Amino acid sequence: MKEIGSDFTLQVKNVQDLFFVSGRVGIKYILSHLTQRGDKCLIPNYLCESIQSCFTEYDYYDIHNDLSISIDSIKSHVSKNNYKIIFIINYFGRVDKQISLLQEVCTSNNILIIEDFTHNMFSSNLYGDVCLCSYRKSLETPFGCIVIDKTKLLPKQNTSFNLKYLISNVTKITGMILKNVSCLKSIWYPILQCCEKYIESVTYNGFDYINYTFYKYYYDPSNKYIRGSNFIFLHDTLMHKPMIKNEKNDTCYFTYPILFSSRDERELVRSECIKQQIYCPVYWPLDFDVEKKCNHYIADRILCIPIDQRYNIDSMKRIQNVCNIICTND
């Protein structure tokens, strides 16, 4: 029975929680311990280059144009090859409705599920054998990825000190601060780019005390409800409806993703938003996919409207006015 009252205890991270500089390093760490040379993985055909580059032996499984997983595609691959791991992304907070069926396929074929919950980091229901979240995409942290190991197969991390990594952290924090000073804005982005390049070569997998501290400080479950309120407002007022449904359950929205009828229409709206200092990213351009194996239908048409905890309903009204005026004049 847990005691009530008494002195506070020091909160220590869970044994299964591992922290890394980035999602890339986290994925590589997982693969280095859960796969051997020659093991193949299944990855979705709609993803970012930083994820794709972590894998060496892989096949793509199909993602439908509504962001749902093609179970038929997975079954087809599994019937022809042996796979060690399947990588799943919860796009924009969407957990696939066929996840139970996917788990059955993986269990019967001894396939481990790596679940990327970067887009729904505040959700409580995780279904992967190993789950990871690049929380620097949702929190004000310079670096950071958390890995939750349900398999208990990943070894304890090395806790050695790394001076170069510390310097990189401090440098990126400096760049993030400079962004807030208008006369110094021209130099902050090159600093961040330099740090991002450094991340690509980082092999340090030790427990990251800096990122853990940022994570504990900035992690706030109430952010989920702010994102939800912003999402609902846009859903009720924008002429374009999102690619994911407005569900009042455990859904944790990452952005408000709109699918336009063409790339040209998307770029028109995007450019007009930029003129109004509204910066809507594209997840993901798929520039790395020269063989066109990925889902370019989504990549060419999607626009992601920011709805995170930095913004309130007034911000959403500003977005609504710009987007609806463009659509009306089109």
Question: Is there a single domain that holds both residue 323 and residue 234?
Answer: yes
Question: Is there a single domain that holds both residue 140 and residue 48?
Answer: yes
Closest CA to 102 of 89, 120, 117: 89
Residue-level pLDDT at 213: 76
The burial class, CB within 10 Å (0-12 / 13-18 / 19+), for 277 is exposed
What's the mean pLDDT in 56-66? Answer: 97
Note if the bond before 284 is cis, omega within 30 degrees.
yes
In a domain, 81, yes or no: yes
Question: Is there a single domain that holds both residue 290 and residue 185?
Answer: no
- Tokens in use for 269? 């709206």
pTM above threshold 0.85: yes
Pair 282, 302: CB distance under 8 Å:
yes
The parent domain of residue 183 ranges over 163-203
Pair 63, 298: CB distance under 8 Å:
yes
pLDDT at 49 over 50: yes
Closest CA to 282 of 321, 243, 238: 243
Question: Is there a single domain that holds both residue 141 and residue 21?
Answer: yes
The DSSP H or E segment spanning 166 is helix 163-178
Dihedral sign for Cα atoms in the order 221, 278, 182, 137: positive
pLDDT classification of 328: cutoffs 50, 70, 90: low
Please give the single-letter amino acid code of residue 87.
Answer: F
Question: Is there a single domain that holds both residue 178 and residue 227?
Answer: no
In a domain, 78, yes or no: yes
- Tokens in use for 4? 């009530």
Question: Is there a single domain that holds both residue 92 and residue 173?
Answer: no
In a domain, 113, yes or no: yes
In a domain, 131, yes or no: yes
Closest CA to 55 of 75, 80, 79, 35: 35
In a domain, 217, yes or no: no
Find the CATH number of the domain harbouring 96. Answer: 3.40.640.10
pLDDT in tens, 275-315: 998 999 999 999 999 999 999 999 999 999 999 999 999 99
pLDDT in tens, 155-201: 876 656 666 666 776 777 777 777 666 666 677 667 767 766 666 56
